[in-house]
Homo-oligomer: A and B are copies of this chain.
């Protein structure tokens, strides 16, 4: 049997990173069978399972993808939900990227060989994966459909995020119909099954969905988001959160760490920033130095937070 081609999302995986990997590995295995190829695809993950992913996997009897730390030389991989080395597995430079499925900006990757790159500016990678099942005419099993639907709903904050497009709404409607659920109700049940933010250890809160980025000046920063239906429980821990992200600035040499808690009901986010806050203040014309700032309407890290900072 051929060595498996590993399919994985970014470090600090969110629901989309895990679900898209599981869904895409399933699709690629079906396509390989159809083509009579002996290629095997294995879904993996680069970090812990988010609580909502654990719940959906369990509900649908799907095994959690294998946790990997680094890649061996020449390992063939498919990246989902990311295309930047900084956010990927250690050893990526010596691996062979055979394919990318993503919905983020281009991060400067260079390859020696052509590859399949399927990116769309839509709300989730799961939506692109679900669409590929339709294009290829591969039947979407109910469990995989539920998993992808869950990721489409968390990544678009139940279609409230400005990253949500008609493409997302259409494929969410078709997938929800296939699963037999109402998408908004299903989305709320997923957000509610997240751990209580008052009880979560602070490092889990701060790192739950956080990514490294490189500023135009070459310095690295860390931007984390926590989406919740209970913002006050998060804000009650501001002092503790500030200590934790100050620690990250010191330990990792980040120019700044920006943590923001998104209230999916009130549709806005509270910014908490430590380190040199200059880029954040300039990008949003705010003063978040030493104090937290409420940002109405800000729901998307990619489109509304990272993009303005990285454009400076």
Q: Which A residues are closer than 8 A to B by beta carbons?
A: 102-121, 135, 302-303, 307, 310-311
A-B complex: 7 closest residue pairs judged by Cβ atoms: A117-B119, A114-B121, A108-B110, A106-B111, A112-B311, A105-B111, A117-B117
Q: Is B119 in contact with A114, judged by CB distance below 8 angstroms?
A: yes
Which B-chain residue is minimally distant from A84 (CB atoms)?
B110
Query: Would you give the shortest CB distance from A57 to chain B, in whole angstroms?
Result: 27
Contact A117 B110 (CB under 8 A): no
- Nearest residue (CB) in B for A306 is B112
Q: How far is the CA of A119 from the CA of B303 in the complex (A)?
A: 23
From B116, B121, B307, give the contact of A119 (CB < 8 A).
B116
A119 cross-chain contacts in B, Cβ below 8 A: 114-118
Contact B109 A113 (CB under 8 A): no
Verify A114–B103 contact, CB threshold 8 A.
yes
Residues in B neighbouring A303, C-beta threshold 8 A: 113-114
Rounded to whole angstroms, the CA-CA distance of A106 and B102 in the bound complex is 14
A120: chain B residues at CB < 8 Å are 114, 116
Closest B residue to A121 by beta carbon equals B114
Complex CA gap A135/B135 in Å reads: 7
**Copies in the assembly, this chain:** 2
In the complex the two chains form, what is the Cα distance from A311 to B114 in whole Å?
13
**Chain B nearest Cβ from A110, distance in angstroms:** 4
Bound-complex Cα distance A117 to B106 (A) = 9
Nearest CB of chain B from residue A301's CB, rounded to whole Å: 12
Closest to A99 in B: B121
> For residue A115, which residues in chain B have a CB less than 8 angstroms away from its CB?
105-106, 119, 121
Interfacial chain B residues near A121, Cβ < 8 Å: 113-116
A170 to B188 alpha-carbon distance, docked (Å): 45
Chain B minimum-CB-distance residue to A131: B135
When distances are taken between beta carbons in the complex, the residues of chain B under 8 Å from A109 are: 106, 108
Q: By the criterion CB–CB under 8 Å, are B112 and A307 in contact? A: yes
- CB-contact partner of A108 in B108, B114, B135, under 8 A: B108
Residue of A107, A112, A120, A310 with highest tally of chain B CB at under 10 A: A112
A105 is contacted by which of B103, B108, B114, B311 (Cβ under 8 Å)? B114
In the complex, how many angstroms separate the beta carbon of A240 from the nearest chain B beta carbon? 33
Contacts of A103 in B (CB 8 A): 114
Q: List 7 A-B contacts (CB under 8 A).
A: A102-B117, A105-B114, A105-B115, A106-B109, A106-B115, A113-B303, A114-B302
CB-nearest residue of chain B to A309: B112
Instruction: Let me know if A107 and B110 touch, CB within 8 A.
Output: yes
Give min CB distance, A277 to chain B, whole Å: 20
Q: Which of A110, A116, A302: most chain B Cβ within 10 A?
A: A110
Q: Cα distance A115–B303 when bound, in Å?
A: 12
